[in-house]
Amino acid sequence: MLLVVAMDVVTVVVALLNLELAVFSHNHKMMVWESHAGGLMSHFGREKTLLMLADDFYWPKMRWDVDRAVHSTTELCPFEVVYGFKPITPLDLLPLPIHEIVNMEASKREDFVRKIHVKTKDLIEKKGKNNAARMNKKGKEMLFKPGDMVWVHFWKDRFPKLRKTKLLPRGAGPYKVLAKINDNAYSIVLPTDEFGVSNSFNVTYLTPYDGEDLGASRSTPFEGGEMTRTSLPNHYLRHCKMKKMLL
């Protein structure tokens, strides 16, 4: 009798594990009908059809797998961070659940979950500091003071209308630094209603103005005129050197 029960458990486990590797077999005909013949949703093009098929056939299993996947930062799965234990799977039928899940007073369980949250928070902060240290090791700190003159770069994500074509200027200036928000952000004195954006900029949008009189060769390092090495900021010189575009 015990052998038969054990065989049944193994059969169920193997069957359920196999279901995780593929789409349910009884859905094959439905998938073909939905994607080719139209069915209930008709045909809306390749991308939308694939998106709807993914929602109907794959996302339920995908969400289950994501809930059990261990994150590299927290060293826990998302479900375990919230509830204190991993979701039940066929493999959990063999051993008994841990004591903290099924047999614990409310106050003790509250302390148990709170410790998990504190540990998760500490791991996230530690991972963030490690990432910041690694990224700052390669970067160069750029600090400005109120009154300094800077160039403002036109990046596509911040100035989409000013970067429609490659012939448009890539920046403007120099402009005066109005105030320091923090080490990574500054308020800039911009012409009234010229750009239509906030006057707060991250340092990635700014380049220090060295005070050189560019004269007739170039009014700014972004506008027309004769291009020389001295009229270009170091940021662009390094970029050109990497791309082997220096004249």
Across the range 96-112, mean pLDDT stands at: 68
What tokens does 75 get? 């060293």
Residue 9 confidence class, pLDDT cut points 50, 70, 90:
very low
| pLDDT at 146 exceeding the cut of 80 | yes
Report the C-alpha gap between 113 and 182 in whole angstroms.
36
- Pick 185 or 31 by higher pLDDT: 185
| pLDDT at 76 exceeding the cut of 60 | yes
pLDDT 10s digits, 21-57: 444 555 555 655 555 555 555 556 666 666 766 666 6
Element containing residue 60 per DSSP (H, E): helix 59-68
- Pick 158 or 81 by higher pLDDT: 81
Across the range 7-31, mean pLDDT stands at: 46
Report the C-alpha gap between 58 and 65 in whole angstroms.
11
Q: Measured on CA atoms in the order 156, 160, 165, 171, is the torsion positive or negative?
A: negative
Query: What is the per-residue pLDDT for 236?
Result: 56
Using a pLDDT cut of 90, give the percent of the chain over it: 0
CATH code for the part of the protein at 149-242: 2.30.30
User: Domain spans of the chain?
Assistant: 26-68, 71-139, 149-242
pTM confidence score: 0.37
| Residue 235 DSSP symbol | H
- Pick 60 or 202 by higher pLDDT: 202
Residue 247 confidence class, pLDDT cut points 50, 70, 90:
very low
How far is the CA of 42 from the CAs of 45, 57, 102, in angstroms? 9, 16, 48
